[in-house]
Amino acid sequence: MIYLLYGNKNFLIDNELITLSQPFDPMNISKFDFDNESPQNAMEDAKTISLFGDKKLIICTHANMFTGATSKDIDIIEEYLNHPNPDTTIIFTVNNEKIDERKKITKLIKKKGCVKAFNAKIDVHDLIKSELQDFKIDNQTLNLLINRVGENPLILKNELAKIKIYKDDNHLISSNDIMNLTTKNIDTDIFKLIDHIVRNQKDEALEIYYEMLKINEEPLKIIILLASQFRIMYQAKQLLKRGLSEKDIATILKIHPYRVKLAIQNSRYIDSKVLLQYLADLADLDIGIKTGIINKDTALELFILKK
């Protein structure tokens, strides 16, 4: 069987991979990352018979030849699609919202295999309840979990796994469990802080900043994280103008697609020149604090008020 799984919901693609992998012996599963490996190696593996005489599974990630991206290895993939090994299941994954329906290779895999899209919006409340089917958690505690951990499905699933292991003998999850068992994701606060800054919501931005100080986050660390995200926003904005997709931008910047998605969303509210000015101002704050010219506790507060 041949599969192509694509979409911007990596979590859903990963879940589908887990489901499709279940019938196979782990010894008969091979993985190839087309960003770092030649598709030829994967296709040669797919053609060979398993040493253990069982069915094989080949997983090929970043199969961007099915998108608008150019690839010199299309002929190799097409040749295999036309003459697949019946003892091998091969899965191609593409972390992109769309595939190029006009391409010969895309038309071929739709004819020869199964193509599935994973772009549906994930409701994190439903995700949490699904993961905690045998546990009890009220809405207030559930919202505390989201506010503390964030809405990234992969991070949420990892944190929920920790809770389930600890609470195996007691299936009632309390707010104390959330505070004691989960790791607060500072990125969640940083993204909220940036949301308010770019929308010129000074009171809300200061409230988030003060909350971060209450849990002993270092002002210098916050400044560095802000600068990092503003830099990504600027870079993503420029690359988006050149017609690149979120996936392409994430690959070029070597960061998780989720961060790119948030950066692009926020960059719509702010001009590129303003972003560059923010970066310059934050660099000045960094130098000023380190040299003792600026008070670290009030530096970022003044930065927010001046915006």
State the average pLDDT over residues 171-190.
Answer: 83
Burial class (CB in 10 A: 0-12, 13-18, 19+), 197: buried
Task: Report pLDDT digits (tens) over 90-99.
Answer: 999 998 888 9
Average model confidence (pLDDT) across the chain: 86
Residues facing 172 on adjacent strands: 136
Q: How far apart are CA 167 and CA 185, in angstroms?
A: 21
R_g (Cα) of the chain, nearest Å: 23
Reading the block at residue 58, the tokens are 């080949």
81 — pLDDT class (breaks 50, 70, 90): very high
Residue type, 37: E
> What torsion, rounded to 10 degrees, do the Cα atoms 8, 9, 11, 15 define?
-100
The pLDDT value given to residue 283: 93
Q: Is 59 helix (H, G, I), strand (E, B) or coil?
A: strand
Q: How far is CA 74 from CA 43, 69, 207, 209, 295, in A?
A: 11, 11, 52, 50, 58
Reading the block at residue 273, the tokens are 């020149």
The pLDDT value given to residue 68: 83
Delineate the domains of the chain, giving CATH numbers in brackets. Answer: 2-117 (3.40.50.300), 124-181 (no CATH), 187-306 (1.20.272.10)
Residue type, 260: V
Residue type, 202: K
Q: What is the pTM of this model?
A: 0.50
Share of the chain above pLDDT 90, in %: 26
Q: Is pLDDT at 253 greater than 80 in this prediction?
A: yes
Q: Of 24-33, 119-128, 248-257, which range is least confident?
A: 119-128
Reading the block at residue 188, the tokens are 């969640």
Contacts of 290 (CB under 8 A, 6+ apart): 220
Task: Report pLDDT digits (tens) over 31-49.
Answer: 999 888 889 999 999 988 7
73 — pLDDT class (breaks 50, 70, 90): confident
Q: Is 60 helix (H, G, I), strand (E, B) or coil?
A: strand
Cβ atoms within 10 A of the Cβ of 43, count?
A: 22
Q: Of 68-77, 196-205, 275-284, which range is least confident?
A: 68-77
The pLDDT value given to residue 284: 92
Task: Report pLDDT digits (tens) over 121-158.
Answer: 777 888 888 888 888 988 899 888 888 887 777 788 88
How far does CA 145 lie from the centroid of its chain?
19
